[in-house]
């Protein structure tokens, strides 16, 4: 099977365009809600000042105590959520008989047999708290906390700001994905000045 748009295969689907301008300077705005699979995505800054973009859902980290998850820090509360995102814990355990814990706090790390569970809550469209429903056991390092939009909510997105996000420098700064690495998450943009122009185009 060949990826859409790959060599020797005609592109049959049109180019989709979510380009626009900053509607209110200093306020993040949603550019693209969660979309179907796409094979090419290009984001470009067409203005004379920097823009910052974000992808995906809100973000958080956790701490452990006695091999169990004990607390959370919300590092990006996101905005525009209509349903609380799902909370998943990945990695943090250790394979039996090993003392090498390198990389175990990553999403593909070894997980314990009793992983933690939790739920997120919202306030004003942003994640304001994460509550443990099971602290889990067997953790040797803090697991990766993955927040994923509910299937009923394609609009919630991480919040970009003047210091947070992927920076696209002035005039023609571009960020591109091609092939199977194209994200399908929601995309948001931040610009300090009303009217800053950007283009967001993708192929499906």
Q: What is the pLDDT of residues 65-86, one digit of tens each?
A: 999 999 999 999 999 999 999 9
Percent of the chain residues past pLDDT 70, beyond the cut: 92
Under DSSP, the state recorded for 91 is: -
Percent of the chain residues past pLDDT 90, beyond the cut: 67
> Closest Cα partner for 168 from 57, 31, 54, 58?
54
Alpha carbons 193 and 198: distance in angstroms, whole number:
12
4-29 average pLDDT score: 74
User: Which one has a higher pLDDT value, 179 or 112?
Assistant: 112
Alpha carbons 96 and 98: distance in angstroms, whole number:
6
Residues across the chain? 204
185: which residues sit within 8 A by CB, 6+ positions away?
A: 34, 55, 56, 57, 149, 157
Average pLDDT, rounded, for the chain: 88
Q: What is the pLDDT of residue 13?
A: 54
Domain with CATH 2.60.120 in the chain: 15-56+157-203
Q: What is the pLDDT of residue 123?
A: 97
- Torsion angle, CA of 18/21/23/24, rounded to 10 degrees? 130
Alpha carbons 161 and 126: distance in angstroms, whole number:
15
Q: 3-class DSSP state for residue 179? A: helix
CA distances, 40 to each of 10, 169, 181 (Å): 14, 21, 9
Confidence of residue 64 (pLDDT cuts 50, 70, 90): very high
Reply yes or no on domain 15-56+157-203 having CATH 2.60.120.
yes
Q: What are phi and psi of 79, to 5 degrees?
A: -155, 165
CB 24 within 8 A of CB 195: no
Q: What is the pLDDT of residue 7?
A: 47
Alpha carbons 61 and 199: distance in angstroms, whole number:
32
* DSSP element (H, E) containing 199: strand 197-203
Task: Report if pTM > 0.75.
Answer: yes
């Amino acid at each position: 099977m060949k990826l859409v748009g790959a060599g020797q295969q005609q592109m049959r689907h049109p180019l989709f365009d979510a380009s626009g301008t900053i509607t209110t300077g200093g306020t993040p705005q949603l550019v693209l809600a969660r979309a179907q699979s796409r094979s090419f995505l290009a984001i470009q800054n067409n203005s004379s000042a920097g823009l910052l973009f974000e992808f995906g859902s809100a973000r958080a980290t956790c701490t452990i105590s006695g091999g169990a998850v004990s607390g959370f820090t919300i590092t990006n509360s996101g905005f525009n959520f209509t349903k609380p995102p799902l909370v998943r814990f990945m990695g943090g355990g250790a394979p039996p008989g090993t003392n090498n814990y390198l990389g175990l706090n990553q999403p593909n790390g070894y997980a314990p047999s009793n992983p933690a569970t939790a739920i997120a809550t919202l306030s004003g469209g942003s994640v304001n708290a994460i509550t443990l429903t099971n602290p889990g056991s067997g953790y040797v390092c803090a697991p990766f906390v993955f927040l994923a939009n509910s299937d009923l909510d394609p609009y919630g997105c991480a919040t970009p700001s003047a210091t947070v996000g992927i920076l696209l420098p002035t005039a023609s700064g571009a960020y591109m994905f091609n092939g199977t690495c194209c994200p399908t998450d929601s995309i948001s943009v931040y610009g300090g000045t009303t009217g800053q122009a950007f283009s967001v185009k993708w192929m499906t």
